[in-house]
Amino acid sequence: MTGSENDASINIITALDSEEIDEPSEMGSFEDETSHISRNKKTIPAMSSGLSLSSSLMGTYIQLYAVFVGASAIILSLLISLRNLFQLGFQAPFGRLSDRIGRKPLIFGGFMTAGFISFLVPQFDSPYAILFLLIFYSLSFSAVSPAWQGLLGDNSSIGKRTKYLSKITSIGTFTTFLSLLILGWIMDNVFETAFLQYQFVFVVAGTLFILTGLLSLTLKEKTISIKPQRLARSSKLAILDPLRNDKTFWKFTLISGIMGFAMSIGWPVFPYIREEYATPSENARLWMAFSLTQLFALLVAGRLSARFGLKPLLFFGRFIMFFIPIINFFARTWYELMMANLVGGLGFGIFVVSMNSYILESSSAETKGAYIGSYNLVFGLFTFAGSLLSGLLLDHLASVMGFWDAIYLMCIIIAIARFLGSLPFLFIDEPKGVKQ
């Protein structure tokens, strides 16, 4: 699991329930404060579909394409670690900016840039060129992510947020599942070579990015009326202030970062296994399996969190990832690799909704973007270090014991790290749930 493991894909079917409406703010009428929700009922689910499929295609296939064109373990780890650093590490300032100027400008600009870069990727067969393009893609996504998560927070209330996020994310996941079914068939029956299949994937991803960016222009943003003294406080909020001032959130962020390190040491390893034992079209089937169990997880996450709280879901979503390197260790066919994706989709679906709910319920109306950005800054630094060190270790082990022996030894190391990294989630506290 590479792309979807670290891309917090945000993603069916029905319009938002009328009950899922923010409470009126301290100033302004209830109608003024909730009119954006009615306007966005169709736009947000449609955007979720475009975001989920395009980011899944780009996040997954760009690593496989790098292996396809001959990227070494060092280059692949550098590619992944820099993606983590730029995509997550720069979200803090973009999150603060989205709190100030609104979500729409960052969402539109980020999607359009990501689309243009997606079109460029198959024009190059150099791993270094792909690395260069991925840096700019990651920067564009670092603008989109906190603005998108903040937008979802603006269109939901604390008590029903997990249910709302589950529903919206499920829309994108279901669309991705159906789309991968179609794309896999097209790649099998229309394109004869692996290169043409990769080219087709990146064109589809780029087109979806651009269409989703254009759709964002129809969004109606929430008008947040904040008392002058609270606005002044918000404008002085430093990037790391949410971590300094909220010890519960800092504890959660640090534990997530440690687990992120354990997760990320697998990201430069697994693409070699998938590229070896699965064609591009078979990889589409693998991610169909991922989407299927992710969809199930998203549909039940809201009910489970209402009954048990976020803490058990966060632990389970991370603990189950321990099984993925074990399955990769034994797999020698694409349908055996599918077992890893079935497990990964379940864990990722439960974790991503619970994680987003935790962050949003820890923040207030004017600090959503800052909290999201602070979390992703820490997570990005940990995953940057994990991916880079993994590539260096894999390169060293390969020189000593041979490439594939090194790959399978790394799978054992990754399994142990993920098991140990998941245990601290048993000791986190429930979010404080600031009243907005």
CATH H superfamily, domain 7-427:
MFS general substrate transporter like domains (1.20.1250.20)
Question: Closest Cα partner for 326 from 426, 408, 229?
Answer: 408
Cα(251)–Cα(257) distance, integer angstroms: 10
Instruction: Please check the confidence at residue 34 and state whether its pLDDT lies above 70.
Output: no
Q: What percent of the chain has pLDDT over 70?
A: 84
Tell me, what's the pLDDT at 14? 25
Among 21-35, 58-72, 142-156, which range has the highest average pLDDT?
58-72
What's the half-sphere exposure (Cβ side, CA atoms, 13 Å) at 128? 0
- Where is average pLDDT lowest: 50-54, 232-236, 298-302, 333-337? 232-236
Tell me, what's the pLDDT at 428? 93
Cα(243)–Cα(250) distance, integer angstroms: 5
Type of residue found at 146: P
Cα(316)–Cα(53) distance, integer angstroms: 25
- Quick: pLDDT tens for 260-282: 999 999 999 999 999 999 989 89
- pLDDT confidence bin for 312, thresholds 50/70/90: very high
Tell me, what's the pLDDT at 142? 87
Tell me, what's the pLDDT at 423? 97
Cα(395)–Cα(43) distance, integer angstroms: 46
Could you tell me which residue, 34 or 345, shows the higher pLDDT?
345
Cα(367)–Cα(154) distance, integer angstroms: 11
* Residue whose structure tokens are 């078979």: 282
Cα(75)–Cα(132) distance, integer angstroms: 11
Mean pLDDT of the chain: 84
Type of residue found at 395: D
* Residue whose structure tokens are 């600090």: 367
| pLDDT, mean of residues 201-219 | 95
Tell me, what's the pLDDT at 8? 40
- Quick: pLDDT tens for 144-170: 988 888 888 887 776 677 678 778 878
Question: Closest Cα partner for 260 from 380, 148, 394?
Answer: 380
Question: Closest Cα partner for 385 from 269, 274, 263, 271?
Answer: 263
Q: Which two tokens stand for residue 361?
A: 């319920």
- Quick: pLDDT tens for 285-302: 998 999 899 889 888 887
Question: Closest Cα partner for 183 from 162, 198, 164?
Answer: 198
Cα(436)–Cα(430) distance, integer angstroms: 17
Cα(37)–Cα(219) distance, integer angstroms: 10
Q: Could you write out the DSSP letters of every residue in 136-172?
A: HHHHHHHHHHHHHHHHHHHTS-GGGHHHHHHHHHHHH
- pLDDT confidence bin for 433, thresholds 50/70/90: low
3-state helix, strand, coil in the chain (%, to 5): 80, 0, 20
Instruction: Please check the confidence at residue 2 and state whether its pLDDT lies above 60.
Output: no
Q: Give every CB contact of residue 333 below 8 A, 6+ residues apart in sequence.
A: 277
Tell me, what's the pLDDT at 214? 96
Instruction: Please check the confidence at residue 31 and state whether its pLDDT lies above 70.
Output: no
Residue 38: Cβ-neighbour burial (10 angstroms; 0-12, 13-18, 19+) = middle
